Amino acid sequence: MSHFIQLHLLTSYPPANLNRDDLGRPKTAVMGGKQRLRVSSQCLKRTWRTSDVFREALGSHVGTRTKLVGPQIFERLFEGGRTENQALSAVEKIVDQFGALESKEKKFKHKQLVHYSPAELSAIDALVTTLIEEGRDPEDGELKLLREEHASVDIAMFGRMLADTPRYNMEAAVQVAHALSVHEAAIEDDFFTAVDDLNDGRDDSGSAHMGHIEFGAGLFYTYVCIDREELERNLNGNKELAETAIRALIEAAATTAPSGKQNSFGSRAWANYVLAESGDAQPRSLSVAFLKPVSGDEYLRSAINALQDNRAQMEHAYGASASAHYELNVPAGEGTLKGLLDFASEDKSPA
C-alpha cells in the first residue's frame, strides 16, 4: 500500500470573494515578491467536509464542530423536569469532558470549537435521556464512556486538539496548503446601487442603497497530502472506510467551491487540472513552480506546463518521489474524474 497520496490542483475562479479577511476583502499573500489571491486551508477543509459530495458518501461517519452542545443539553434537561441548578450541574460534568468551558450564565458553551464524533454525540444523547428518566446526575463511569468512540472520518482526516484532555486528541492524516493564485493578482472594488421598486422617481430619482464589494479573479494552485496509513490508523484499521473517505475528499476538492459571496458572484468552479501522485517517499509541494508568477495570454496551459516541468526537475534532482501518478487534464482531454478516484483509492501494495 502506498503511504502517501499527493494532489496538485489548478482551479480557475472568475471574479469572486471566496474567503474574506477581517476587513471583508479577499485574502492575499505575497509570494515571489508579488501579491497573490489566497484561500485559507481552514476555508478549504470546511468547504470539503460540509459538501454534499462528502456527506452523501460518508453519511453517519461525519462529525460536528460546535460550541453549543452544552446549551442544548441544558434545554433538554430543563424541559425534562430537572431544576435549573440540577441541569447546570449535569451540563458542566458532561461538557467538561471535551474541553474548557465558559460561565454558567452561558449554559457552559465551550471556549473553543470542539469537533464531536457521531458516536460521542449519540452517547451524550443517550446519557441525557437516562438522566431525565432516572432523575439523577451523571456518574464518573458514564462520563468516561462518552469519549471511548471519538473517531469520525473528518476528525481522522483533519485532526482534533482538546487542550485540556490530550488523550482524545487525534493527529491529522490530511494536510492542506493555502490555495494561492499562480499569477500576480489585484483586488478590485465593485460599487453597486439598489433601486426601490416602488419609487416612481417623481420625488427622488436616486438609488435606495449604495455599497461596495471587493473581489478578485485568479487561477489557484492547491496542494493536498493524504497519509493513507495514518488515516487507516485513525479509523481503527477500517480500510474500506478509509478508501471511501479518500474518494469523497478528492471529489469534493475537485468539484466544490468555497461558499463566500456565491450569491453575489456565482463563482462555482471545478478543477481544470489535477495531478495525483502515490508513493512512499516524503511528500513535497510543487508550489515553487509558481514562485515566478505565470504571465501571458494562456494562464492555464502555462500553469500546467510549469507544474509538469517542476515535477520533472525535482525528480531529476532527487529521484522519483512517487511510484505512480495520474493526470486529469481538462484542456488536453486527458483523464477522467472516475479514473482519478480509482487511482487514488486503490491499494497499490506489491503482489
Hey, where are the domains in the chain? 4-59+173-200+207-345, 65-151
Tell me, what's the pLDDT at 221? 98
Q: Where does the pLDDT of residue 170 fall: very low under 50, low under 70, confident under 90, or very high at 90 and above? A: confident
pLDDT at 337 over 80: yes
- The CB-side HSE value for 191 (13 A sphere, CA atoms) comes to 2
Per-position b or e across 263-302, b if 16+ CB within 10 A of its CB: eebebebebbbbbbbbbebebeebbebbeebbeeeebbbb
Amino acid 103: pLDDT? 63
What pLDDT, in 10s, does the model give residues 100-156? Answer: 666 656 567 777 788 888 988 999 999 999 999 998 889 988 888 887 676 789 999
Judged against a pLDDT cut of 70, whether residue 340 lies above it is answered with yes
For residue 124, what pLDDT is reported?
A: 92
Q: Average pLDDT of the chain? A: 90
d(CA 200, CA 335) in angstroms, rounded, equals 56
Cell digits of residue 231 = 488515516
Amino acid 201 reads G
CA distance 289 to 88: 56
Q: Where does residue 133 fall: left (phi above 0), alpha (psi -120 to 50 degrees), or beta otherwise? A: alpha
Q: Is 8:15 a contact under the CB 8 Å cutoff? A: no
Q: What percent of the chain has pLDDT over 70?
A: 93
**Three-state SS at 148:** coil
CB 10 within 8 A of CB 304: yes
